[in-house]
Amino acid sequence: MLKGYDFKAGKNPYKQFKTKELGERLSRAQRLINNLNIPVLIIVDGWESSGKGFVIKDLVKELNPKHFKVSVFENPTEDENKRPFLWRFWNKLPKKGDIAIYDRSFYFNVFNDLSLTGEALDKDIRDISSIEKLLLDDDTIIIKFFLHQKEKTQQKRIDKLKEDEDRSFMISERDEEQYENYGDYLNHFDTVLNKSDFTFSKWHVVSSENKKDASDNILGMTIDLIHEGIDRIMGMKNGGLRKELRDYSPQEKPLEKVNLKLELDDEEYDKLKDDLQMEAQRLSFRLYTNGIPTVMVFEGVDASGKGGAIERLTREMDPRGYEVLTTAAPSEDEKAHHYLWRFYKDFPQKGDMKIFDRSWYGRVMVERVEQFADMEEWDRAYNEINEMEQHLHNFNTLILKFFIYIDKEEQLRRFKSRETEPDKVFKLTDEDWRNREKWTDYIEAMNEMLVRTDTDYAPWTIVEGQQKKYARIKVLQTFIEQAGKILDETT
């Protein structure tokens, strides 16, 4: 894309418009996407000293500041380095109706690390591809610009900044590094751009030999691309490209094979529990000292005993090293973002443990059955969830997913027991009874979830929960087994 780039062909096709006029037209487009609740992500990347700041300043000059945010991504901070590399970008994604502008982006690492080649480069680009694809599927308009300049132009701009006492601070080691190795960076940038020029989110290379022309080009193209995006999204919402039928046909039904007769007697339970809890404590310390993040998911039918299993698992652990997150209905702010956004921001840093009592799997269970998400939304979520968990796995995260199962009769018994126990009556809600009426629909959704999101890097552990003591011991044993395994592999 950069090799053989014709800078003469990159002249300003919007020269008949004044910059202010283009800005006002973009402001009208902003009001339109705000009214339609469509999020827009604009990425401005390119060479150092190529004018990204100049372009972004013109891009936002006429916009309503309440509905856009500019985020600058430099070298990750110490805290950001402790988390999966996409984490800091998820936190800055636009909510519905707003514009997010990234000065540099999730391409920062792949652009600036010349040693990143081969499979390592392809892996990072696959992660980037997954986030762009799921945003596009969630009706986000993605616009990617790369500012290109000649080697001599870069040298002149660096020299000019050096001579300006007020702006010399803007010269970084990266500016010097890119200029001194212009040819190597040109080849590397070209490789990255070609690999990440996805059919669903194309790169737009813009000459920045003349900054004003570059600014007008990007303003004009942004207006056009926003309107193209609106046409695509509205066409899909009107039935143009939306799925009406699913390709999936039911496969195995793992819940039908669960042996709910498994149990432990009191003596055996008491004999196992204390030793297992102390071993879980020891391993939690080792995970912390070795910087291994842990994500645990607890799902299951209502009243299956998720809370009790979590309590026994963490009983001897240092409470400073783990956090239990109870997933409730999303807030208005969370609804305004991609459904995975609220979970990404809570993922652990190296050494920490986050335990989710219900999780992102609500998308393919509650939201599916209760029709809070349409068929296309929850049907594509299986792959989105797998890719998100793959990203966590790539960061050497221990991922444990427990599904605790009881049958319908045992659930009814526990519901009635809660009605009469003062310490448990708060656990029983009208929603629990409503969900029970849709038992068959929920079981169907749960079976499909267990089949389609059971992966080598994030497998499901189905826990026979008819007897709570058996379930609690199995959760402890599974944690100990999997924690020991990842520690053996990485230490």
**For residue range 244-286, what is the model confidence (pLDDT) as tens digits?**
667 787 778 999 999 999 999 999 999 999 999 999 999 999 9
**Assigned domain for 2 exists:** no
243, pLDDT greater than 60: no
Q: What is the pLDDT of residues 89-120, one digit of tens each?
A: 999 999 999 999 999 999 999 999 999 999 99
Q: Are residues 350 and 417 in the same domain?
A: yes
Q: Residues with Cβ < 8 Å from 460, sequence gap 6 or more?
A: 401, 402, 403, 450, 453, 454
User: Do 298 and 178 fall into the same domain?
Assistant: no
CA–CA dist 382, 414 (Å, integer): 31
Beta-carbon contacts of 405 under 8 Å, excluding residues fewer than 6 positions away, are: 255, 258, 260, 300, 301, 304, 462, 463, 464, 465
pLDDT of residue 160: 87
Let me know if 372 is exposed, middle or buried by CB neighbors in 10 A (0-12, 13-18, 19+).
Answer: middle
Co-location of 174 and 219 in the same domain: yes
248 in any annotated domain: no
> Of how many residues is the chain composed?
491
Q: State the chain's mean pLDDT as an integer.
A: 93
Residue with tokens 């009814």: 412
Tell me, letter by letter, the H, E, C secondary structure of 304-366: CCHHHHHHHHHCCCCHHHEEEEECCCCCHHHHCCCCCHHHHCCCCCCCCEEEEECCHHHHHCH
- Pair (72, 189) in one structural domain: yes
pLDDT digits (tens, 9 = 90+) for 323-340: 999 999 999 999 999 999
In a domain, 250, yes or no: no
Is the domain of 227 the same as that of 298? no
pLDDT cut 90: percent of the chain above it: 83
Q: Are residues 215 and 77 in the same domain?
A: yes
pLDDT score for 453: 98
Beta bridge partners of 403: 299, 462
Cβ neighbours around 165 below 10 Å, total? 7
Chain-centre distance for alpha carbon 409: 38
Distance, CA of 27 to CA of 30 (rounded, Å): 5
Residue 244 located in a structural domain: no
Instruction: Please write the tens of the pLDDT for every residue from 420-446.
Output: 777 666 667 777 787 889 999 999 999
Count CA atoms closer than 13 A to 368's CA, side-chain side: 22
* Domain span including residue 343: 258-490
Q: Are 386 and 432 part of one and the same domain?
A: yes
Backbone angles phi, psi at 121, to 5 degrees: -65, -45
Pair (178, 59) in one structural domain: yes
Per-residue pLDDT tens over the stretch 133-181: 999 999 999 999 999 999 999 999 988 888 877 777 777 888 889 999 9
Residues 63 and 149 in one domain: yes
And the tokens for 422? 């003062």
Domain-ending residue, one of 205, 237, 269: 237
Q: What is the pLDDT of residues 185-203, one digit of tens each?
A: 999 999 999 999 999 999 9
Are residues 70 and 195 part of one domain?
A: yes
Report how far residue 76's alpha carbon sits from residue 85's, in angstroms, rounded to the nearest whole number. Answer: 9
pLDDT at residue 183 tops 90 = yes
Q: Same domain for 164 and 195?
A: yes
pTM value > 0.85: yes
In a domain, 246, yes or no: no
Whole-angstrom distance, CA of residue 226 vs CA of residue 214: 18
Specify the amino acid at residue 146.
F
Q: Is 373 found in the same domain as 270?
A: yes
C-alpha span between 49 and 329 (Å, rounded): 46
Q: Answer whether residue 130 shows pLDDT above 70.
A: yes
Q: Tell me: pLDDT of 10 over 60.
A: no
Q: Which residues contact 214 (CB under 8 A, 6 or more apart)?
A: 51, 54, 55, 147, 206, 207, 208
CATH number where 193 lies: 3.40.50.300
- The count of domains in the chain is 2
Place of tokens 């519901």: 415
CA distances 52 to 73, 103, 473, Å, are 12, 7, 57
